[in-house]
Structure formats: C-alpha cells, structure tokens
C-alpha cells in the first residue's frame, strides 16, 4: 500500500491549484494598481461594467476562499507526520507569525508608510487568525471539528439579520468577527486599524478545508479522489444555483432581473465577499473542487510552473505587491507629480495610486502577464532554496 508520505501527486495537485489562484490573484491586484477606473467605479457595478471587466474581477473571487480552504487541507496533511500536540503548536505559531507579518511587512509594502499610520487586516490576517483558532480545535474529535466548521459556514449569514436592522452599529468586535464594511478603529494617536477581512466565515472555511484533508491521503485511490472531488464540486455549484435562485438565504444582497440576460446572469453571480457569504463560498469552492479533480495526475509545463508558485505562495504574495508598488511609484513621478503629499492627498489604499489615472484593461493584462513571468525565476530559486535547506526551521513559517 502506498505510504501517505510518498503519495506526492495529491499534494502536488493542491500546490498546483494554489499556484493557479496565486496567478489569478495577481490580476486583481494589478487592476487595483494600474486600471484607470480602479478607484472611480466598481468593476461589478451592473450599470457601468462590461463583460470582460466583470469577468476580470469575478474570476479573482476564487483566490482567497480557495487559498484558505487549501491551507486547511495542508494542515490536515501535516498531521500525517506530526502528533496532534506538534500540529497544534506549529499551526498556532505559524498563525501568530502571519498576523505579525500582515501588520508589519505587508502594512509597509502596501502603504509605503514607515509610521504605520494604517494597519490593514487583509487576507494574511484572516489566514493567521484562522490558523490560531484551528490550532486550538485540532485536539477535538474530527466529527466535532467538522460540526463546528459546518455550523460556521452554513450559519454565519444569520448574522446578516441583525446587521440589516436600521441604525445597527456592531462595534469593533462585531466588525472583526463578521461584518467589517472596511471599518476603521483608532488604537493610538494617528494610528488606525482597517478591518477588511472579518475572520469568522474565513475560519469556518479553513476548518472545512482541514476536514476535507481526509480525501487527500492514501486511504483513497487517485480515481476515488478524482470522483469524490468532482462530485463535491458539482454538488456545491448545484447548491449555489438552487439557494441563490430562491433569494431566501446565503447572501445579503438578492439578485434581480435586469434589462438583458447577460446582466441578469451578472446579478445572479454577484455574491458578497466582505464577509464571504455562504453562496460566495459555495460557488468558489465548488469550482476549486472541480479543478482539483481535473488536476489529478496532470504533468506538464504549466503545472510545473503553477506548482512553484503554489509552494512559494507567501513569498510570491509579498514580492508581487512590492514590485507593483515600486513600479507605480516610479510612474507617479514620471507622470509629472512632484511630492509624496500629492499621493497622500489622493486617499487611495495604495500610496502613489491616483483615482482616475491609469491604463486600459488591455494594459492591465499585459502588466499582469509580465509581472507573473518575471517573478517565476525568483520563486523557482526560492523554492529550490527551501527544498535544499530543510535544516533552517524558520523557512517552514514562510
């Protein structure tokens, strides 16, 4: 019987999918930095969007939930070679490290502000705090962990009910838990926390990923896993279609009939990300499961590239932000700006990005392709370095 530790192709399929969503993720961030309408309109605004613009934004919905889910899967697989105590301790420590990384390195990379006047809690924070919570839950029986995950994922949209009441104000802990609305809270004179990713639904998603890790071990043959992941994926998408059509539950914003079929479809697919609704998670993870099924056993140049990005996800994430921000800062001054104060006064999330200034969607796609291609050799080197320096314990946190 194949050992779980030598059953490499399944772990590779997880890395492949993680790499694919990391590549797609860069598209959305390039759009944030370079698209002319990035801060003057919403790409999902049905009154002004175009099919290509809507698709450009919507396809990136796959990234955060897939990454959180696969992080849970990876934690389960680590449990094959670790005791529960070791797995719990490592998961908690790595989660705390990611929170620190978000509030320091990523805060600087995204804002270029050495005073850290704004600390944004974004996806790395969500991954970190979810790991801390999952690390505490690991000691519980598997079925109880699964029950907790299902309760969070299926039930968190019940919190939409009190939130929809006129005049509702949840406060810091409520915003941190479930409904941020990009709320800001001062924690020191001249310093604020910006809550972008409330953690409860993301934590539920990671827990479900952890519980799904059982399908990725040698207890299932490759053919069994392919069938299971495909059926789960189709089931989740069918669940999304039925519940979304009912307009009864699962997303705070109902879909509506529009002036034509395309816009009606867009309205149907426009699900809520902040926080991720049940329907948002269902359709994105459903697609993720189908992709895992299709990637099973695949070996070619493309999967080799995506595996490298998947194995160096955090390194790639930080590096692609840094490169984009440096490039946009250079363009800021080349385009005739003279002082940093002009960039500060613009009030955009990223310093040197000016509302109403930028480039067409075609240029965005060219910049995206160039960025990903240029980062591949660096990520490949880093992956090789990690593989050949396993004695460096700190690399396991990166």
pLDDT digits (tens, 9 = 90+) for 207-249: 999 999 999 988 888 889 999 999 999 999 999 999 999 999 9
pLDDT tens digits along 296-344: 888 899 999 999 999 999 999 999 999 999 999 999 999 888 788 888 8
Q: How far apart are CA 398 and CA 396, in angstroms?
A: 5
Buried/exposed 103-113: b ≥16 CB within 10 Å, e otherwise: beebbebbbbe
Structure tokens at 14: 């997880």
Task: Average the pLDDT over 16-27 and give the result.
Answer: 97
Q: In the predicted model, is pLDDT for residue 141 greater than 80?
A: yes
Mean pLDDT value of segment 119-133: 97
Sign of CA dihedral 21, 27, 28, 33: positive
pLDDT band (50, 70, 90) for residue 349: confident
Q: What is the mean pLDDT of residues 287-291?
A: 97
Question: Confidence band (pLDDT; 50, 70, 90) for 386?
Answer: confident
* Nearest alpha carbon to residue 203 among 121, 135, 290: 135
Please tell me the number of Cα atoms within 13 Å of 18 on its side-chain side: 25
Question: Quick one: pLDDT at residue 196?
Answer: 94
CA gap 357, 292 in Å, rounded: 39
- Structure-block tokens of residue 139: 């000691």
Which is it for the CA torsion 196, 201, 207, 209, positive or negative? Answer: negative
Q: What is the pLDDT of residue 4?
A: 38
8-state DSSP, 199: S
Residue 390 reports pLDDT greater than 70: yes
| Average pLDDT of every residue of the chain | 92
For residue 1, pLDDT over 70 is answered with no
When pLDDT is cut at 50, 70 and 90, the band that residue 2 belongs to is very low
Task: Indicate the pLDDT class of residue 7, thresholds 50, 70 and 90.
Answer: very low
Q: Does the pLDDT at position 19 exceed 80?
A: yes
- What gap in Å lies between CA 329 and CA 317, rounded to an integer? 19
Sign (positive or negative) of CA dihedral 289, 234, 251, 210: negative
- Whole-number pLDDT of residue 77: 94
CA 377-381-387 angle, 5° bins:
145
Report the pLDDT value the prediction gives residue 392, as an integer from 0 to 100. 74
Q: How much is the pTM?
A: 0.93
> Is there a contact between 324 and 30 (Cβ–Cβ < 8 Å)?
yes
Q: Kindly state the average pLDDT of the residues 61-72.
A: 97
- pLDDT band for 348, please (50, 70, 90 cuts): confident
Determine the average pLDDT of the residues in 108-131: 94
Residue 5 has pLDDT above 70, yes or no: no
| Residue 6 pLDDT exceeds 80 | no
């Amino acid at each position: 019987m194949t050992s779980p530790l030598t059953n490499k192709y399944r772990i590779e399929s997880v890395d492949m999918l993680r790499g694919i969503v990391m590549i797609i993720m860069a598209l959305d961030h390039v759009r944030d930095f370079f698209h002319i309408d990035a801060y003057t309109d919403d790409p999902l605004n049905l009154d002004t969007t175009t099919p290509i613009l809507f698709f450009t934004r919507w396809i990136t919905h796959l990234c955060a939930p897939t990454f959180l889910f696969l992080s849970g899967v990876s934690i389960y697989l680590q449990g094959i070679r670790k005791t529960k105590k070791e797995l719990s301790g490592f998961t908690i420590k790595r989660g705390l490290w990611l929170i620190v990384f978000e509030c320091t390195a990523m805060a600087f990379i995204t804002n270029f502000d050495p005073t850290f006047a704004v600390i944004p809690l974004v996806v790395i924070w969500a991954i970190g705090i979810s790991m801390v919570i999952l690390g505490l839950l690991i000691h519980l029986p598997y079925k109880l962990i699964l029950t907790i995950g299902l309760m969070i994922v299926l039930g968190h949209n019940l919190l939409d009910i009190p939130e929809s009441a006129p005049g509702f104000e949840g406060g810091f802990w409520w915003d941190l838990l479930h409904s941020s609305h990009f709320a800001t809270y001062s924690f020191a004179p001249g310093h604020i926390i910006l809550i972008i990713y409330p953690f409860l639904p993301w934590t539920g998603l990671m827990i479900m990923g952890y519980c799904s890790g059982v399908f990725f071990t040698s207890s299932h043959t490759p053919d069994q896993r392919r069938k299971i992941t495909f059926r789960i994926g189709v089931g989740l998408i069918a669940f999304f279609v039925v519940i979304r059509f009912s307009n009864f539950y699962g997303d705070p914003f109902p879909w509506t009939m529009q002036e034509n079929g395309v816009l009606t479809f867009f309205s149907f697919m426009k699900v809520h990300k902040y926080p991720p609704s049940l329907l948002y998670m269902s359709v994105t993870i459903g697609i993720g499961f189908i992709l895992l099924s299709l990637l099973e056993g695949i070996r070619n140049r493309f999967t080799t590239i995506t595996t490298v990005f998947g194995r160096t996800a955090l390194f790639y994430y930080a590096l692609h932000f840094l490169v984009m921000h440096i490039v946009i800062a250079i363009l800021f001054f080349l385009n005739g700006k003279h002082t940093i104060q002009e960039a500060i006064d613009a009030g955009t999330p990223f310093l040197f990005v000016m509302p109403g200034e930028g480039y067409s969607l075609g240029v965005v796609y060219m910049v995206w392709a160039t960025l990903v291609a240029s980062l591949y050799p660096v990520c490949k080197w880093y992956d090789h370095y990690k593989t050949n320096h396993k004695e460096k314990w700190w690399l396991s946190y990166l």
